[in-house]
Amino acid sequence: YDRKLTDIFTVESEIAKTIADTLRAKLTGSEERMMSKKPTANPEAYEFYLKGRFFWNKRTGVDLRKAIDYFNQAVAKDPSYALAYAGLADAYVLLSGFGAASPKDSLPQAKAAAEKALELDSTLGEAHASLAQALLAYDFDFAGANREFQHAIELNPNYATAHHWYGESVLAPLSQFEDAIAQLKRALQLDPLSMIINADVGTVLTNARRYDEAIEQLRKTLEMDPSFYYAHYNLGEALEMKGLTENAIAEYQRAIALNDDPVPQALLGHLYAKIGKKNEARQILQQLHESSKQHYVSPYLFAMIHIGLGEKDRAIDFLEKTYEDRDGYSIAFIKVDPFLDPLHGDPRFEALVQKVFAAKQ
């Protein structure tokens, strides 16, 4: 297979077909079509797409911005490149979740890019997964997201992100933990070296209150890359829920040292408040208010610190603001986030839960 880069998709198809023939695998019609499909005829566009996915996988605000730049360059080179539009949607859909944009700015762009990808190729599983995540994050449309994820998996059963996001963003918030973990484990089989999938197996285990398994999984994730700040603060959450306060503080502080994402700062503020360090908690609250003048800070994070301080009404004010901001990435977990347990049973809180899940009917 000594050929020019311009032939890369032909070579990939031939290799896949040779392997299938050698293994005497019976391919379905859709699998054969997928194998022979060329996403783009432009090698430069393909290179930009690959660079976009590389930075997208790093899961930091700065890297997601780089990913958007590369995906935009890919579609500039080939305006009919559906997969690059799906990549663009996937980067925009994550921006607010990683403290890099407000949901009202980034999520409509995610939805538009996913719809453009589907307009170019309605059989592209990746684009259906992109649309599903946007429907969930911006519209709180669990039914629509469920439908689109299932369609994505039918079209491309080996697309790890579809399984990952379906489990983490739809099934886990609906408390369907066994199914959620099964989807995450399938994603992990397909992409065992993905840092974010490894970490999110841990986050779903935390939401399922399976803290020992979550701690084990997140420690394994950090063995792969000790600089992955997201896994540090998620490990901190599981440790905090187990009552291992000092260990949790250490993990939050490691995450803060590695990245300026406001999430670990809020978690540290929450824990300080809980253990009686109220001045330190209020100091972090003030820092987040100052930060919010420069860039988007989810109201959900303020809610967490107010929960730690025992200020339930103030916490619910901020959760209602999270809903108004269309911050589905945060508010979707309202039923399962163990940090919100002290609010369960409060009439205002329960009314908000009903509102969040109304669209799933």
Q: Is the pLDDT of residue 32 over 60?
A: no
The pLDDT tens digits for 114-130 are 999 999 999 999 999 99
Q: Which pLDDT does position 340 carry in this prediction?
A: 99
* CB-based contacts of 263, cutoff 8 Å, min separation 6: 99, 233, 255, 301
Stretch 102-120: mean pLDDT: 97
User: Rounded to whole angstroms, how far apart are CA atoms 65 and 56?
Assistant: 8
Q: Which pLDDT does position 40 carry in this prediction?
A: 94
* Exposure string over 329-348, b if 16+ CB within 10 A, otherwise e: bbbbbbebbbbbeebeeeee
User: Rounded to whole angstroms, how far apart are CA atoms 329 and 264?
Assistant: 16
Lowest mean pLDDT: which of 28-32, 39-43, 69-73? 28-32
Residue 239 near residue 251, CB atoms below 8 Å? yes
The pLDDT tens digits for 205-238 are 999 999 999 999 999 999 999 999 999 999 999 9
What mean pLDDT value characterizes the chain?
A: 93
Report percent pLDDT > 90 for the chain: 86
314 band by pLDDT with thresholds 50, 70 and 90: very high
Q: Is the pLDDT of residue 110 over 60?
A: yes
Residue 132 near residue 354, CB atoms below 8 Å? no
Q: Please report, for the chain, the start and end positions of each structural domain, with discontinuous segments joined by +.
A: 1-38, 44-157, 260-361
The pLDDT tens digits for 46-93 are 999 999 999 999 999 999 999 999 999 999 999 999 999 999 999 999
User: Rounded to whole angstroms, how far apart are CA atoms 297 and 327?
Assistant: 10
User: Rounded to whole angstroms, how far apart are CA atoms 50 and 297?
Assistant: 30
Q: Domain 44-157 maps to which CATH number in 1.10.10.10, 2.60.40.10, 1.25.40.10, 1.20.1530.20? A: 1.25.40.10
Alpha carbon 262 to chain centroid distance?
16
Q: Is the pLDDT of residue 30 over 60?
A: no
Stretch 319-347: mean pLDDT: 97
The structure's pTM equals 0.90
- Encoded tokens for 151: 């369609």
Q: Which pLDDT does position 251 carry in this prediction?
A: 99
Any idea what the Cα angle at residue 233 is, between residues 230 and 239, rounded to 5°? 140
